[in-house]
Amino acid sequence: MQAEFAGSSRPNARFTGIIYLLYFVTAIGGELLLRGIVSPENADSTASNLAAHRLRFQIGVGVGLASTATYLALTGLFYRLFSAVNRYLSATAAFFSIVGCAILATATLFRVLPVTLLGEHAYLEQFSPKQLHALAFFSFEVYGRCIQISFVFFGVYCFLI
Q: What percent of the chain has pLDDT over 90?
A: 68
Please report which confidence band the pLDDT of residue 2 belongs to, taking 50, 70 and 90 as the band edges: very low
Please say if the pLDDT value at position 148 is more than 50. yes
Residue 1 has pLDDT above 70, yes or no: no
User: Each residue of 35-90: pLDDT tens digit?
Assistant: 999 888 888 888 899 989 999 999 999 999 999 999 999 999 999 999 989 999 99
pLDDT value of residue 3? 45
Q: Is the pLDDT of residue 4 over 60?
A: no
Q: What is the mean predicted confidence (pLDDT) over 98-116?
A: 95
Residue 11 has pLDDT above 80, yes or no: no
pLDDT score for 8: 59
Q: Which residues lie below 8 Å from residue 149, measured CB to CB, with a gap of 6+?
A: 103
Q: What is the mean pLDDT of the segment spanning 100-125?
A: 91
Quick check: 7 pLDDT over 70? no
Element (H, E) at 127: none
Answer for the pair 56, 87: CB distance below 8 angstroms, yes or no: no
CB 77 within 8 A of CB 15: yes
Q: Tell me, what's the pLDDT at 9?
A: 67
Alpha-carbon distances, residue 157 vs 12, 78, 90, 93, 98 (angstroms): 20, 11, 9, 5, 9
Q: Give 149 or 40, the one with higher predicted confidence.
A: 149
More confident residue, 91 or 119: 91
